[in-house]
Homo-oligomer: A and B are copies of this chain.
Amino acid sequence: MTQSKSPSERRAHLVQLAGDLFAEKGFRATTVREIADAAGILSGSLYHHFDSKESIGDEILSAFLEDVLTGYREAVRDTADPRTAIEQIVRSSTANLSRHRAALTMLQNDWNYFSGQPRFAYLRTAMKEIEQTWIEQLERGKQTGQFRADLDTRLTYRLLRDILWLPTSWRSSATWSTDQIIEGLLRLLFDGIRA
């Protein structure tokens, strides 16, 4: 049953376990006792591995944003065409989101909680870079004539980023595969719903 893990793997396993709970209920709504229960230990024993509940959240969030930003940077570095860049952003995001469901649930549910604390200042920094990347690509698309000239880039960015991050919370039923969602999203994005 209890397979003996390597020293540092044990810690990563606990983060994984906590993340699963955060993804389902959010960060604040998850108690340290629930995390401990999932690991089969008592709540106090968690503090042998972490110095606070927040630092577990910190580990999850910073790992997520690192991956996301890496994906964004690669997307705009490798491609000159804005449409291809956006498509690349969407694909890398979707891959990241399915791997970091916990982080996104935390950002959606507990943004107020985290963004207020100095410790999580990097959240705002990362969001700024994400926003700027989107807006740059949308502006470039307008200039090349690929996107509508009357597009409000900031409004469109907010809509698109949030849309992109939505399906992660569709925990309820695994009705659609990741590929299906990407496909539907990109079609909707570029073509709308009209025939």
Contacts and interface: CB of A to CB of B under 8 A. Distances in A.
A29 B112 contact: yes
A193 B190 contact: yes
Copies of this chain present: 2
A154 B167 CA distance: 13
Interface string A116-159: 00000000000000000000001001000111110110111011
Tell me whether chain A's interface is mostly helix, strand or loop, or mixed.
helix
Interface in A22-45: 24-26, 28-29
A166 B155 contact: no
A152 B183 CA distance: 10
Given A163-B162, A184-B159, A195 B145 contact: yes
A120 B187 CA distance: 36
B195 A192 contact: no
A92 interface: no
B184 A188 contact: no
Contacts of A138: 193
A175 interface: yes
A151 B193 contact: yes
Contacts of A151: 193
Given A148-B193, A159-B184, 4 more contacts: A155-B176, A158-B167, A188-B192, A192-B192
Interface of A: 24-26, 28-29, 108-109, 112-113, 138, 141, 145-149, 151-152, 154-156, 158-159, 162-163, 166-167, 170, 175-176, 180-181, 184-185, 187-195
6 contacts: A26-B112, A147-B194, A147-B195, A155-B176, A163-B163, A188-B189
